[in-house]
Structure 1
């Protein structure tokens, strides 16, 4: 569970201009070196491998230590004989557990994890920060080990002066973002390990310069903090190779206007590099925010959307507009009832006028819901307290929507498609994955607190 540890002082945000920023990490009587140095950890009850820091079940995270397990972890260390120091021990747990490392600066990091058990089979799923799916269901036979790599983006609220962008901070929503969602904004990288029999041997974290795919959106895009809620922004990370980062700047309850007013767009533009991408999906909350204005989807909404496109292009970025997926609702004939069609049409018009790539998630979501049907479609939505939330999705539903977007990227031959993982198979929303065989494990924390913003107004028969 995210703890209220978001520190906005200069030391924690690390805005120092010197190229050698020392990490405040004291291990075995030594301090870590320059900011570009790799941080390596060995989860063994025996001697750590050369160049690695030993981590035992009693190593709990603190800012002073700079690394460790988050409180509440029920981790057991297992020892295995062998000549390979990285394979002679590991940690495991019957429930999801989190390991956090404080970092010298925000940015993109390559994480390489060694998994496996010399004496038994293992199955591990890895998420990062706020439940971003990075590695799905790695099954390793007894005696084998494997290494998996992925890229994690980290950030702080600080905005540095960049061109016409003034210095300052993102206007975070308190207490939501400063406490419950603190892992998305702090100066540390948090990894979650789970599944039937995880076997974590080692972790190496190193800064990298790679292209970044920035995401902006509402509660259906942002990193949802707890089960049963999830978004496609948390699942799309699964489908990119470890040569690109996904930076999710979406937030619950927000709109294109909020993105500007709370300086989320400024934050993105302040760190965007030429060739980076900006994928945007708003509409659910814009519908309420500007509802009183006649024709607002085709005026105000499009104008605010254009500011995002213009900002990304000015920084050499590549914008992509995504139409908002539908809410779950069916008429008496069992057909999906549209509730956001004007915003989907306005997004399409804006994309055409601005000559920007467009992904019609609204249309694909309706195909997906229709394929599941009025009753079975509930399996794609969160059900806190046993009541179906007809707007917000669960792990299964968000996983399907993420695959819709990846499929559209590939079909449209966007250059972004070069970074899609090799094991992504063509996806047809009319033939969704069988929910009975869906295997992404839930994270440990649950909530009945509904995401901010859009209220349920879709009804089902």
Structure 2
């Protein structure tokens, strides 16, 4: 049965792959925001520049800004656009990894903003500048396409068809009490850029709408330029449906030697009840397939056990709601000789440290009428809100350190050590909400 299953899985998941994808080549896109004279080599972006396919860039999704010109010798910093509400800026780019350099600030006033890319991927937390001071930072951002080869595409769910992660644009979300944006430069990242591909379910995916969030969209915040996070996870998926929708095909088609594949599944796999399903049957065999196919491409597989559900017992301890799946993942990692990040163990510690009632504040537990159209309480013990997702991303970072992965050298200098038994205080958490919100629960549980 094992040989038959693997042969069938390979036939589904690994057709002839396209040549290794390279980052897009071409000149950088350089944008100078505001009504003043544009800096040499930069394209001026006025406050009225709404995105259109014809222009290929602009302020997107009906968001608006104002413009200010303070003059001065520095054309790039003498003018800016500003808003006290979230706004989006998009530019058309092909699939690839990009270095995005953002300059924010005001010669005469204070500014405060955060930065996210595409479907709410966190790049920069709340950053404030004093009058005359500017924040300039470079981030590496992945832009993906559903095409695998001519005529072959990733099979997206209906909810994915409108996600910012799957369009032909690179979209930046600026969100703060006073964003003052002076410049954005988008350039193809060097070929040496390391891509970290994420394969997983709703606990990993880039959740596009408030109040939902997952660790995969928080992890970019911890990396310097040189590492791009390519999140191919999707809500409701198991290892089998990830394969069947050609997502592993897509990852392998653009993977290059030295790239990583982080794999976290289990929540939905445990619901599959076919004759060959189970932790030590199809789940184990498929996990091995992911590992072996990644190794064939020269990639580095990393297995993560599933995040625990918030499943407290009467003793105030988290009970196991994942069956044998975490143990099976650990077994595959050991036998295949690959790194293991035990998120099951770390998240159990995390929730217990926060406490039975307080831990609800790391999940989507909100009273009725918190969001438009929400007439009943939201009470979800699997899916995280941004605070919970951020804490779990910190657990993943600790797993990267513990395994001494090459990614450690790319961690940002402001990445502190984290102990899941000593979580960050919710009172210190800052997350200005994105404009898009939905009360519909993501697929899977």
Could you tell me the TM-score, scaled by structure 1's length? 0.87
Asked if 2 retains the 8 angstrom alpha-carbon contact of 1:228 and 1:383, the reply is: no
Residue 178 (structure 1) shift: 1.0
Decide whether aligned partners of structure 1 residues 56 and 383 sit closer, same or farther in structure 2, where only a CA change above 3 A counts.
farther
Partner of residue 137 from structure 1, selected from 123, 126, 131: 126
Please give the secondary structure, in 2, of the residue aligned with 1:391: strand
Greater strand fraction, Structure 1 or Structure 2: 2
5+ long unaligned stretches in structure 1: 1-14, 22-34, 162-166, 455-461
Partner of residue 80 from structure 1, selected from 44, 54, 70: 70
Match of 1:173 in 2: 157
Matched, 1:403 2:394: yes
Please give the secondary structure, in 1, of the residue aligned with 2:324: helix
Match of 2:251 in 1: 268
- Please tell me the root mean square deviation across aligned C-alpha atoms, in Å: 1.9
Residue 259 (structure 1) shift: 1.2
Extract structure 1 runs of 4+ deviating beyond 2 A.
291-295, 383-386
Match of 2:43 in 1: 53
CA distance in 2, matches of 1:217, 1:20: 24
Residue 293 (structure 1) shift: 4.6
CA distance in 2, matches of 1:20, 1:379: 40
CA distance in 2, matches of 1:412, 1:307: 22
CA distance in 1, matches of 2:345, 2:148: 36
Please give the secondary structure, in 2, of the residue aligned with 1:213: strand
CA distance in 1, matches of 2:399, 2:136: 30
User: After alignment, is 438-447 or 322-331 more displaced?
Assistant: 438-447
Asked if 1 retains the 8 angstrom alpha-carbon contact of 2:255 and 2:299, the reply is: yes
Match of 1:305 in 2: 287
CA distance in 2, matches of 1:274, 1:20: 14
**Equivalence map 1:15-414=2 (5 Å):** 35-103=25-93, 105-160=94-149, 168-174=152-158, 176-179=159-162, 181=163, 183-208=164-189, 209=191, 210-289=193-272, 291=273, 293=275, 296-383=278-365, 385=374, 386-414=377-405
CA distance in 1, matches of 2:116, 2:51: 18
CA distance in 2, matches of 1:55, 1:233: 32
CA distance in 1, matches of 2:228, 2:378: 35
**CA deviation vs aligned residue, 1:139-184 (integer Å, no higher than 9, x gap):** 21111112110011001111137xxxxx61111112x1112x1x11
Residue 95 (structure 1) shift: 1.4
Asked if 2 retains the 8 angstrom alpha-carbon contact of 1:95 and 1:444, the reply is: no
Aligned residues: 416
Asked if 2 retains the 8 angstrom alpha-carbon contact of 1:320 and 1:357, the reply is: yes
Asked if 2 retains the 8 angstrom alpha-carbon contact of 1:121 and 1:140, the reply is: yes
CA distance in 1, matches of 2:52, 2:279: 47
5+ long unaligned stretches in structure 2: 1-17, 367-373
Residue 276 (structure 1) shift: 0.3
